[in-house]
Amino acid sequence: MGTHAIINFLVYAIVNAFTPGPGNILALNTVTNYGWRKGKKLFFGIFAGYYVVQTICAIFIYGLDEFLSPAMTVMKYFGVAYIVWLAIHIAISSPSKENDQSCASFWKGCILQFVNVKIYLFGVTALSGYVVEHYTSLGMLLFFGIIIATIGTIATSSWILLGGLFQRTYTKYFRAINIVLALVLLECAWGMFVR
């Protein structure tokens, strides 16, 4: 794989990973509401889900097209419904109280990634558009899938860091911020629905 192909792959992966998506928005909202300590299970769920989904993408590209294509269509609608539910939840949420024990779980973050069609399309597009021309072995596809998931994890971590830095501002303007975040999530859901 030449330098030009690697640069194109990395640029695509970085831009796609850092743009607002369901996982990044949920991570930002969770850290601003609950902080790192209470939200870390959700964050680890998002990260783990990213790696599992990119493994699925690598296997898909390797040859399971007939199995995953119909599943992707069905998952799209589950993903839209879940993201709309998250948008509603974010819009009506408020900063947590110290004794509030209701925090997002590992499984909530992980399930979000399983229904997040954006990262499936991200993985399939990156692997089929940049990697398959040079490598077709399952090992290499998995390797590049891990790179994609790592870039995605770094991107989500940066959204978490920003949420932590702006926690005081969030507490003061939480309603307006939550509505904007919910609208961004609804736009994500709409984009998935019309594809």
Structure confidence by residue, pLDDT tens digits, 13-47: 887 788 778 888 888 888 888 888 888 899 999 99
Mean pLDDT of the region 54-63: 87
Q: Which residues contact 26 (CB under 8 A, 6 or more apart)?
A: 42, 46, 86, 90, 104, 109, 112
Q: Minimal CA–CA distance to 151: which of 7, 17, 3?
A: 17
150-to-17, 55, 137 alpha-carbon distances in Å: 10, 12, 20
Give the pLDDT score at 114: 87
Mean pLDDT of the region 135-142: 89
Name the pLDDT band for 55 (thresholds 50, 70, 90). Answer: very high
pTM over 0.75: no
Neighbours of 60 (CB within 10 A): 22
Give the pLDDT score at 150: 96
pLDDT of 107 > 50? The answer is yes
- pLDDT, one tens digit per residue, over 79-105 is 677 768 777 877 887 765 544 445 678
Neighbours of 179 (CB within 10 A): 14
